[in-house]
Amino acid sequence: MQSQNNGETAGCVELKSAENSSTTTATAVIPKTTTTTTTTTNTTFVLQTGAQKRSLSVFPQPPPPPPIAFPSKRQKMSDMSDEVISDEDSADIFRQAFEEGEHEYMFEHFVEGPNEDQFSNDKGCPDLIENVVDTKGVRQITRGLPTVKKLTIKNFRKKNDDVADLMASGWATLEAAINAIQKKQHITTNLEQLYKVVECLCGHKMARSTYDKLLENVRRWIRGFRSDLNEKSASGGVEFMKTVENLWSDYCEQMILIRNIFLYLDRTFILENIDESPIWESSLVIFREEIVLYSSVLKKLVNGILDCIARERVGDQIDRSLLRALFRMLRTLELYKQCFEEEFLACTNVFYAQEGMSLVRTLETTDFLLHVERRIKEENERVDLYLDESTRTPLLTRVEKCLISDHMQEVIDNGLSTLLNDNRVQDVSRLYALLCRVEGGVGLLKTGFSAYIKKVGKAMITDSQRIRPWWRI
């Protein structure tokens, strides 16, 4: 090393190569205290500031970054994304990559610029694409993603061009299951498969025909029980009522299971066709038309129910669970009000009218009041057990009219004085509670009580044998 006046040192840079034993000496100017030694493979050299047009800063500035090594084919593509380098560095990187045999990263398109020739290369990679963008002297190289393949989703259902064959085969499977349910036999086909058959038929725009075939099958099946009902209706009574109840119970269980199989039809076709009734409502209409309203079935059924209630009122034991099931059937079929309740109330009115006229003359006032109280309690229990709640008010109204309103004047005239004279407070309280249930009852009781007080007071005043007070002597 030799010194110079400007504080810089002139020295020699000796480059030695392990591959070649020749030595090359070059003279350069470097600062006194600023020397950086960089070691590469089998070569040692010294760099100085301002030595080339491509300047590399030395200490105290950070050392230049090491040459960018392109990743191998087994490395991820995202490791080199969004690298920003200068034009000259990008040319060196490109040249180094292709001279060293790394052909993994190719460029598909080139942007016009001052170093376009440096990036000329006819090689290309079919799977990867490099996009080169020139922005104000800085070239940004961003690797793109692999080519996206087109994904096609196909319908998993098989398309059947012959709609008639599809309908025939699908309905044959469904009809076999329906017949097995109606005959209480084992269903060979899985319920999920049956559900998918219905969904397939609806998807091929055969919902209308499926709906019509289902209702036709149900109607044809229920008609087969008419002959059995005709035989049992001849005898009437409880046996006939049990036959109708058993038929109704089995029919409901079957239709619930059938509706579950055709649930997709019920939730799609019915919603789109508001004029059509759901499967359950349609099945109720079929049972009402084909069984209950057929011939004299309803009339004999109602007469049997009324006969059971009349026998219960006179103290006989009846099957209340049977009546409860039949009344539930009538309510479900919307026949309770128009076909039973009116006739039942009429029979109730006749029964209690006759009973009231008979008992008010034969029973003592106390016994008659107890009987009326018991009858009102029985009718309330009857509503709680099997009658509809809507029947409670009109039923009790008729009982109160026949047993209280029609005979309260006679009870007050004949029995009130006896109750008051004997000091029967509990019986008087019972009479007051019963008269409060009817219109005008309390007023009539006041009138009777007032007449009793006047009568008793007058008798006390006019009685000469009664001991007088000392001030009247």
Q: Is 55 exposed, middle or buried (0-12, 13-18, 19+ CB in 10 A)?
A: exposed
Element (H, E) at 212: helix 207-223
CA angle 24, 29, 31 (to 5 degrees): 125
Q: Are 327 and 245 in contact (CB under 8 A)?
A: no
Alpha helices in 58-190 (DSSP H): 87-99, 163-182
Tokens of 256: 């619930």
| pLDDT tens track, the chain, 473 positions | 444 444 444 444 444 444 444 444 444 444 444 444 444 444 444 444 444 444 444 445 556 666 665 555 445 444 444 444 555 665 565 566 555 444 444 444 444 444 445 444 444 444 444 444 444 444 444 445 556 566 666 655 555 456 778 888 899 999 999 999 999 999 999 999 999 999 999 988 899 999 999 999 999 999 999 988 888 887 778 999 999 999 999 999 999 999 999 999 999 998 888 889 999 999 999 999 999 998 889 999 999 999 999 999 999 999 999 999 999 999 999 999 999 999 999 999 999 999 999 999 999 999 999 999 999 999 999 999 999 999 999 999 999 999 999 999 999 998 899 999 989 999 999 999 999 999 999 999 999 999 999 988 888 877 766 665 555 54
Pairwise CA distance, residues 392 & 462, whole Å = 52
Pairwise CA distance, residues 332 & 288, whole Å = 10
Tokens of 315: 């103290």
The single residue listed with the structure tokens 């060293």 is: 100
The single residue listed with the structure tokens 């200068």 is: 86
> In terms of DSSP bridges, do strands 23-31 and 36-40 run parallel, antiparallel, or are they unpaired?
unpaired
User: E-strand spans in 83-198?
Assistant: 83-86, 130-135, 138-143
